[in-house]
Amino acid sequence: MFWRAFNLVVLAALLAGEALAGDVPPTDWTNTYRHFDHRVNPPRQFVPPRLRFSDSRMVYTLPNGLDGLATLDKTLTHLCQRGAFIQKSDGFYWAVSPGRRYGVAFSGGANLDDAQNKRQAGKVYFFHNQDSRCTVYVGDQAKLMPHYVAS
């Protein structure tokens, strides 16, 4: 009789505990990354951008440098240092002389970003250090033709 009463008390305690436990949500400390379960947007597939690649091109060889072929232009140098007269792609066209390499842009607009329209017809622009130390040299295209490298 004692064991029957004891079993009834234990059973009643277990049922009361389950009823109380149903009111309180269980704490699950094993899943520490639960905040990653909810996603607002579905994952996206990475699509690489289409890029066009072009090789840079040497257009002039200058065995004696720019001596007699181009002169320093202070106005364009100042504009280049401010970013208003620059190459579209630094060094896309280039010229080589002993000890120095210049970026080249043409007056027709090839590789030239000229916001203030300072370019002149028939001129070639040589850029050295396209940054705050930029210097721009201007040469006559007709004088430079013997040094042109055809590719």
User: Each residue of 110-119: pLDDT tens digit?
Assistant: 888 888 899 9
Mean pLDDT of the chain: 80
Q: Helices marked H in the chain — which ranges? A: 2-23, 74-82, 141-144
Q: Is residue 89 assigned to a domain? A: yes
Most confident stretch, 1-10, 36-45, 56-65, 118-127: 118-127
Q: What angle do CA 120, 61, 52 make, to 5 degrees?
A: 75
- Report yes or no on whether pTM surpasses 0.85: no
65 located within any domain:
yes
Q: Is residue 68 domain-resident?
A: yes
39 is a domain residue = no
Please answer whether residues 103 and 90 qualify as being in contact, where contact means their C-beta atoms are separated by less than 8 angstroms.
yes
Residue 43 lies in a domain: no
Number of structural domains the chain divides into: 1
**Residue 87 in tokens:** 């190459």
Tell me the pLDDT tens digit for each residue of 44-91.
676 677 766 667 788 999 999 898 899 999 999 999 999 899 988 887
- Domain span at residue 78 reads 57-147
In the numeric block, which tokens belong to residue 106? 């043409």
Residue 12 burial (10 A CB sphere; 0-12, 13-18, 19+): exposed
Note whether residue 102 is domain-resident.
Answer: yes
- Has residue 37 been placed in a domain? no
Residue 33 lies in a domain: no
**Residues 43-73, buried b or exposed e (16+ Cβ, 10 A)?**
eeeeeeeeeeeeeeeebbebeeebeebbeeb
